Amino acid sequence: MSEQSTGMTHRPLGSTTGITVSDLGLGLWAVAGSEWGPGDDAASLEAIEVALEAGVTFFDTADIYGDGHSEELLGRAMAGRRDQFIVASKIGWNGFDREANCSRYDTVESIISGVETSLQRLATDHLDVIQCHINYGEPNTDVFIEGFRELKAQGKVRAWGVSTGDFEHLRHFNAGGDCDVLQIDYSILNRIPEQEILPYCAEHGIGVIVRGPLAMGLLADKFTAESRFPAGDFRVAWVEDKEQNTQYLADLAIVDGLRPLLADGETMAEFALRFVRSHPAVSTVIPGARDGRQSTANAAAGKAPLLSAGELTEVDSLVPHGGGRMIWPA
C-alpha cells in the first residue's frame, strides 16, 4: 500500500494487472436517468472533479447506467486528461432477456461490439477494466470470457473480470486462471464474501472492487423507519414491500448499534468505508456520490486510518464475520 501527495492511499489491483488504484474510488451508477431518482449532470460532473482533486484515480461505470449516460459523463470529465483516470465499465445487463434468463451478448463479436460502443461514449481507445455485469446463471458466460480475452489481446482492455456475489460464478470466470478482477457487494451489513470469495481472491491474486460499501445509503445513517423515497428510486420497495420492509427495519437496528463505535466527529459513512478498506483482499472501494459534497465526504474516509482490531471486534458483535445479507446481487 502506498500513499500519494493527496493523502489518498493506493494499492495494486490484484497481482496480475500491473494497475495501481486509489483504494477509495468513485461509483457512477447514480446519474440522471438511472434507478436512483432525479439526477443532475452538473452535480455528477462536480462529484467526479472533486474526487479527482482529492486523489481518487479509479472510476467505475457501466453501459446500462442511465442507458449509457454515465459513460458519456465520465468521457466528458476525462477530456484532455485520460491519463489521470483508471476507468472500469461493465457489460451484460443492457438488453438482458429476463424471461429467457440470458443476455443479448451471445457471441464474441457482440461482446467486442458492445465494448467498442462503450469506448465511443467514453471517448477513449481503451478501458482499464471490463467486467461481466451478470451475477450468475448466464448461459453465455464462456462467450464473455472469450470476448474479454480477445479485447485484451487487441489492447482495448487492460484487465477483465466479473461482477458477482456467487462463488461458483467467480470460479467459472477464473477456470483458466486469468480472471483479473472481481466486483462484489461487501459492507458491514453484508459480510458474506468473507466466507469464501475474499479468501479465494487473495489466494489467486484477483483484484477486488467493492461496491455497495454504504449498503445503498443504509450505512450513511440518513434513513429512519419514516423515510420515504422518490418515484423511480428502487429503494421505494424497502418501505412498500412487506418482506423488504422487515429487513430494512432490521438493518436500521444494526446501524443504531454502530453509532457508539464512531470516533468523535466521525460519520457513519466514514466508519463503514474504513471497515471495507480494512480487509486485506480489497483493492478499491467505490461508493457512489451524486454531488461534490458527497464526493468530499467519501474522499475523507479514503484518507482515514483502517479500523483497529478492537473496532473490528466491536463490529463482529453486531454482524458476525461472514454474516449479514446480500444487499444487491449484480
Q: Please determine, for residue 4, whether its predicted confidence score (pLDDT) is greater than 60.
A: no
Q: For the residues 275-286, what does the mean pLDDT come to?
A: 97
Output 222 or 118, whichever has higher pLDDT: 118
Q: What is the dihedral of CA 262, 263, 268, 269, to 10 degrees?
A: -140
Report the percent of the chain where pLDDT is more than 90: 67
Beta strands in the chain (DSSP E): 2-3, 9-12, 20-22, 26-27, 58-60, 86-91, 127-132, 157-163, 181-185, 207-211, 282-285
Give CA 310 to chain center in angstroms: 27
pTM of the model: 0.91
- Of the listed ranges 53-67, 95-109, 211-225, 296-310, the one predicted with least confidence: 95-109
For the residues of 148-165, what is the DSSP string, one character each? HHHHHHTTSEEEEEEE-S
Identify which of 99, 167, 105 has the alpha carbon closest to the alpha carbon of residue 142: 105
Distance, in Å, from the CA atom of 102 to the CA atom of 98, rounded to the nearest integer, reads 7
Q: Please determine, for residue 196, whether its predicted confidence score (pLDDT) is greater than 90.
A: yes
CA-angle at 280, arms to 318 and 191, nearest 5°: 30
What does the pLDDT read at residue 21? Answer: 97
What does the pLDDT read at residue 267? Answer: 92
What does the pLDDT read at residue 102? Answer: 73
What does the pLDDT read at residue 221? Answer: 87
Identity (one letter) of the amino acid at 150?
E
The predicted-structure confidence for 18-41, as pLDDT tens digits, reads as follows 999 999 999 998 775 555 555 688
The predicted-structure confidence for 128-153, as pLDDT tens digits, reads as follows 999 999 866 677 889 999 999 999 99
Q: What is the dihedral of CA 142, 137, 63, 238, to 10 degrees?
A: -160
The predicted-structure confidence for 73-90, as pLDDT tens digits, reads as follows 999 999 999 999 999 999
Q: For the residues 246-266, what does the mean pLDDT come to?
A: 92
Q: Please determine, for residue 329, whether its predicted confidence score (pLDDT) is greater than 80.
A: no
The H-or-E segment that residue 252 falls in is helix 242-258
What does the pLDDT read at residue 303? Answer: 85
The pLDDT mean for the chain works out to 90
What does the pLDDT read at residue 2? Answer: 58
Domains by residue range for the chain, with CATH:
20-318 (3.20.20.100)
What does the pLDDT read at residue 328? Answer: 61
Residue 65 is a catalytic residue = yes
For the residues of 2-17, what is the DSSP string, one character each? EE-TTS-EEEESTTTS
